[in-house]
A and B are shown apart, each in its own frame.
Chain A
């Protein structure tokens, strides 16, 4: 079984947005939404001694995906190959996963009213093709493959080539998109777009913290009430009730 991952070489990325366009056209992403993004992380220093980089971000298909834990309906799930996917038929578009993702990789597709995000072009990968963004990148800055395949470029870059994850002490969920960059570039990117600890939406907090308890209490109380009445009925016998 493959275990998919991606390495993004930030030294090669020139910020041309070809991957963004390829992704949008492949998956019909509406205006305002994005499954993959290229964002400038700013500039540090003064010419000619400065650092600058772009951060290419998308779903990280994390080892411990917080979005899967947050989804109330089970629409978001993780395949055995590590790809985190959305069952659009089950998604109601409540936005729980959007708030739960530390990397801002998800959005609500306004046309369809359901959550959407990168799925490593699972439909293409199943047919032996590369993800659209990888296929289109003119600088070959995106490298895709399996971490189980010791011959793959991804395997070598992750285990021997110094590719790194963007994580913090707060957010430590095993993202499977790795970055190749100079240390100062990594620092710049991580400072510009730090992962945000997963949030539970207000409705979700109210559900588990209040509403669920109220409902259990109300249903439990009336169930108990009728159970007592029923056993009393059994004990007394029905003759007593009838005239």
Chain B
């Protein structure tokens, strides 16, 4: 066992502890989240590449002329390009709607959101120190973080706010809903919301795919798991919660094993379901 007593503050690890923890996996993302993440990534890739090609007027344009010409050639006509953009967008809305309806309790409930994207005092401190670290004005350590750090939380908040804006304005433009002026402003809002997400996406993709320290987070978006050492270093408060939860289960199970015998003399052998934790071999 790496720890008999789970520490309440981050303590230096022994080499042995670190080695054991690196081998142990903690479940971080459910399969639905992993699937929706990559579906979303694909949608963003397709929608950004086609969306940029739809803005042809010089006053509105964001992409160079050769790109517009190339995309028009790929799709044959601008109408095809728009049809594709709309088809992908509507599919995106349909999938997210299903995700929201069926996954409400698991992923979008206020309790879950508060835990995942709500900023606490540690988060504000993290943002302050992170900023100072970036400009080299402090040597302090970053405060412990929950399942997501303050940067990730802020990006999530941005995305959670902007995605409904993108969807609603997209529907307004697709189906020419409401007044003419509303359609005109929907166009502006659609572009603004996408722009804001893309500005965060730059960091999201870099941190996820390129930055070496966060590499386990990238793999967790495929396997759903992170190793415990990474969790300990990067998401201490979450690691502690998971360990405490696991310890409670282990105790409960041990008590049941030890002597809690039913009336007919049969021992309860069913191990409790450990939802958020993959138990390694305890011989470690």
Contacts and interface: CB of A to CB of B under 8 A. Distances in A.
Interface of A: 69-74, 87, 89-90, 92-96, 98, 108, 112-114, 201-204, 206-208, 211-212, 214-216, 218-219, 221-223, 225-226, 229-230, 233, 238, 241-243
Contacts of A204: 59-60, 184
Contacts of B66: none
A230 B207 CA distance: 10
A238 B212 contact: yes
Interface of B: 18, 54-57, 59-60, 62, 78-79, 82-83, 173-177, 180-181, 183-185, 187-188, 191-192, 195-196, 198-200, 202-203, 205-206, 210-213, 229, 233
A98 B54 CA distance: 20
A233 B57 contact: no
B79 A95 contact: no
Given A73-B56, A112-B176, A233-B211, A219 B184 contact: no
B202 A222 contact: yes
Determine chain B's interface SS by DSSP, over half rule.
Answer: helix
Contact of B18 (A207, A219, A243): A243
A242 B18 CA distance: 13
A204 B54 CA distance: 16
A183 to B, nearest CB: 38
Given A90-B79, A212-B62, A233-B210, A95 B180 contact: yes
Nearest to A242: B212
B280 to A, nearest CB: 20
B217 to A, nearest CB: 13
Contact of A221 (B199, B210, B213): B199
A241 B210 CA distance: 12
Given A204-B184, A221-B199, A211 B191 contact: yes
Nearest to A205: B59
B106 to A, nearest CB: 30
Contacts of B212: 233, 238, 241-242
Given A203-B188, A233-B211, A93 B199 contact: no
B187 A219 contact: no
Contacts of B210: 226, 230, 233
Given A90-B82, A215-B199, A243-B18, A208 B187 contact: no
Contacts of B198: 215, 219
Contacts of B82: 73, 89-90
A89 B18 CA distance: 61
Contacts of B185: 203
B194 to A, nearest CB: 8
Contacts of A225: 202-203
Contacts of A95: 180-181, 183-184
B206 A73 contact: no
A216 B61 CA distance: 11
A72 B78 CA distance: 13
Given A95-B181, A203-B188, A207-B191, A74 B56 contact: yes
A112 B83 CA distance: 17
Contact of A215 (B79, B196, B211): B196
B79 A87 contact: yes
Given A72-B60, A98-B180, 19 more contacts: A71-B57, A74-B57, A74-B78, A87-B79, A89-B83, A95-B184, A96-B184, A112-B176, A207-B59, A208-B60, A211-B192, A215-B62, A215-B198, A218-B195, A218-B199, A225-B202, A225-B203, A241-B212, A243-B229
Contacts of A201: 181, 184
A203 B184 contact: yes
A208 B83 CA distance: 25
| Most A-side CB within 10 Å, residue of B62, B199, B210 | B199
A95 B212 CA distance: 49
B183 A92 contact: yes
| Most B-side CB within 10 Å, residue of A87, A92, A243 | A92
B202 A72 contact: no
Contact of B78 (A90, A208, A221): A90
Contacts of A113: 175-177, 183
19 contacts: A72-B59, A72-B60, A73-B57, A93-B176, A93-B180, A94-B187, A95-B183, A112-B176, A201-B181, A211-B191, A212-B62, A215-B196, A222-B200, A226-B202, A226-B206, A233-B211, A233-B212, A241-B213, A243-B233
B195 to A, nearest CB: 3
A27 B82 CA distance: 25
A214 B211 contact: no
B59 A222 contact: no
A223 B202 contact: yes
Contacts of B233: 243
